[in-house]
């Protein structure tokens, strides 16, 4: 028996372990080569399509679909470089002298240090062009408007950082409109500035460039919003159907006698109430049927069959609630993972929402604020919160704890209302005072 075990170990297990160890020892070399190959791919695109320069997404030499292809390919290659360089650093950290001796004994030769440094230098030169890319660093949409010039006053902290004196600034009083009025009306200068912009030969290119940036921002934001909605839903349905569902159904089928039909007392009370109503309905029909009334045994058989139907129905509801718990956990994990890998898209989405909000009129802003507050913290909001919490408890198969629901309704909307009022006072009052005034007039 020991001879057989040693033979199996030499013939099957040892070659597999040796191959795995060799693969581990070559991790740093393999990772650096993959990163270098991705950098070569980016460099080939630059040399072939952009004359060796940085990939310009505003280039007019290619159509929109071609530029989208270049953008997606660039993102893919940069992601490969980041992942492989991280893998290279980690593998080099754990590569000690004993591993190097083992690699030499196995005939594994690492590349020379000069070749490693040359590849790392080439990778750094390629990705340095895109580490501080401003293609999607959209500014405030109001500040980008060519027809407006907004000068934000510098704070004392900013003046201190620039070594400007701030004592006089603190003691100064605000200037009146009479002190800021010039000899010539300001509208004349604005008209001249607008004419200068319209006569500029590069004005059309600037307009097209800004439009493309705005269009790209909208496409990315809409696509990311759809991903945030579709990915968790698909994860929930697929995991519930393909992974969690079969496991739970197999458990209920194997433990049909031990498995309970009801997850909580509310399900049991609902089942008993339904069975009681069925029994009363049978008796009522039997009393009305004077020609051929049912016997006691026939009534008992019908009630028993109905009891089995109700039990199977609630067993399905119980198993469905257990499936929902695990499927929801996987949905939250997928949603969190999507947020973690989409930092650039989140920044673009934030700028997109800022652009949309700034584009609304004051009455529209006030309308949205009133609608939001009335739904979530208004007079009728406790009924909505009660329905939501009761639906969540049914979705997870939990008993509806009315004490918790009442405590939640008594505290959470109040906290939410306080936070919302603070946000209006602290931020919205500075960003759009006219919207706050419109909101107060509409609310009164």
**What's the pLDDT tens digit per position in 213-259?**
888 888 999 999 999 999 999 999 999 888 888 888 887 777 665 45
Checking if the pLDDT of 103 tops 50, the result is yes
Residue that finishes a domain, picked among 322, 346, 370: 346
Task: Tell which phi-psi region holds residue 107, choosing left (phi > 0), alpha (psi between -120 and 50) or beta.
Answer: left
Calculate the dihedral angle through the C-alpha atoms of 278, 279, 280, 285, rounding to the nearest 10 degrees.
Answer: 90
Q: Is the pLDDT of residue 177 over 80?
A: no
pLDDT at 172 over 50: no
The confidence band for 102, taking pLDDT boundaries of 50, 70 and 90, is low
pLDDT band at 132 (very low <50, low <70, confident <90, very high): low
Are the CB atoms for 226 and 179 separated by under 8 Å? no
* Range of 159-163, 259-263, 320-324, 431-435 with top mean pLDDT: 320-324
pLDDT for the residue 82: 87
Q: What is the pLDDT of residue 197?
A: 66
234 and 342 in one domain? yes
Contact 293, 243 (CB under 8 A): no
Instruction: Say yes or no: 118 and 85 in one domain.
Output: yes
Task: Report yes or no: 263 and 318 within 8 Å, Cβ to Cβ.
Answer: yes
Shared domain check, 333 and 240: yes
Q: Indicate if the pLDDT at residue 100 is higher than 60.
A: no
Choose the final residue of a domain: 82, 108, 127: 127
Residue 161: pLDDT band (50, 70, 90) is very low
Q: Encode pLDDT of 325-367 as tens digits.
A: 999 999 999 999 999 988 888 988 888 888 888 778 888 888 8
Number of domains in the chain: 3
The DSSP letter of residue 151 is -
Residue 87, number of CB atoms within 10 A of its CB: 17
Please check whether residue 205 lies inside any domain of the structure.
Answer: no
Residue 429 near residue 436 (C-beta atoms within 8 A): yes
Give the pLDDT of residue 186: 62
Residue 73's φ and ψ, nearest 5 degrees, are: -65, -40
Name the token pair of 206. 């600037």
- The pLDDT score that the predictor gives to residue 333 is 94
| Same structural domain, 14 and 119 | yes
Percent of residues, the chain, with pLDDT higher than 90: 8
The domain of 374 spans 360-443
Residue 184 is predicted with a pLDDT of 56
Q: What is the CA radius of gyration of the chain?
A: 35
Q: CA geometry: angle at 203 spanning 199 and 207, to 5°?
A: 145
Residue 123: CB atoms within 10 A of its CB come to: 21
What is the pLDDT at residue 98? 57
- Please state the rounded mean pLDDT for residues 302-322: 87
Length of the chain: 444
pLDDT attached to residue 167: 39
Out of 286, 321, 346, pick the residue that ends a domain: 346
**Which of 191, 87, 180, 68 shows the shortest CA–CA distance to 135?**
68
Q: What confidence score (pLDDT) does residue 97 get?
A: 55
């Amino acid at each position: 028996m020991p001879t057989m075990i040693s033979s199996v170990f030499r013939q099957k297990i040892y070659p597999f372990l040796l191959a795995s160890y060799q693969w581990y020892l070559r991790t740093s070399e393999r990772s650096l080569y993959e990163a270098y190959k991705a950098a070569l791919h980016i460099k080939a695109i630059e040399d072939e399509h952009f004359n060796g320069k940085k990939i310009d997404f505003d280039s007019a030499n290619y159509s929109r679909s071609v530029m989208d292809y270049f953008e997606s390919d660039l993102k893919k290659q940069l992601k490969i470089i980041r992942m492989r360089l991280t893998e290279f650093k980690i593998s080099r950290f754990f590569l000690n002298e004993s591993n190097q001796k083992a690699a030499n004994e196995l005939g594994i030769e690492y590349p020379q240090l000069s070749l490693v440094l040359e590849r790392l230098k080439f990778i750094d030169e390629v990705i340095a062009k895109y580490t501080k890319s401003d293609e999607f660093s959209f500014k405030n949409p109001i500040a980008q408007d060519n027809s407006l010039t907004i000068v934000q006053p510098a704070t004392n902290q900013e003046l201190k950082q620039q070594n400007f004196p701030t004592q006089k600034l603190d003691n100064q009083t605000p200037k009146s409109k009479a002190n800021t009025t010039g000899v010539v009306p300001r509208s004349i200068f604005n008209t001249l500035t607008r004419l200068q912009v319209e006569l500029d030969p590069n004005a059309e290119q600037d307009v097209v460039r800004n439009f493309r940036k705005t269009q790209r921002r909208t496409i990315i934001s809409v696509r990311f919003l759809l991903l945030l909605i579709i990915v968790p839903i698909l994860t929930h349905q697929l995991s519930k159907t393909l992974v969690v569902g079969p496991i739970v159904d197999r458990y209920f089928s194997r433990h049909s006698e031990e498995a309970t039909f009801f997850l909580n007392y509310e399900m049991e009370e609902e089942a008993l109430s339904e069975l009681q109503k069925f029994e009363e309905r049978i008796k009522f029909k039997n009393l009305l049927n004077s020609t051929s009334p049912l016997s006691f045994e026939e009534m008992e058989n019908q009630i028993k069959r109905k009891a089995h139907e109700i039990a199977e129905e609630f067993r399905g509801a119980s198993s469905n609630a257990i499936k929902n718990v695990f499927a929801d956990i996987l949905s939250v994990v997928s949603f969190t993972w999507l947020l973690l890998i989409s930092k650039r898209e989140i920044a673009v989405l934030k700028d997109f929402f800022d652009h949309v909000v700034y584009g609304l009129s004051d009455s529209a802003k006030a309308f949205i604020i009133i609608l939001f507050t009335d739904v979530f913290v208004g007079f009728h909001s406790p009924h909505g919160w009660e329905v939501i919490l009761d639906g969540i408890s049914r979705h997870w198969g939990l008993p509806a704890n009315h004490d918790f629901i009442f405590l939640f309704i008594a505290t959470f909307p109040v906290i939410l209302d306080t936070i919302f009022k603070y946000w209006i006072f602290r931020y919205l009052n500075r960003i759009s005072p006219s919207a706050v005034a419109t909101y107060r007039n509409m609310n009164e």
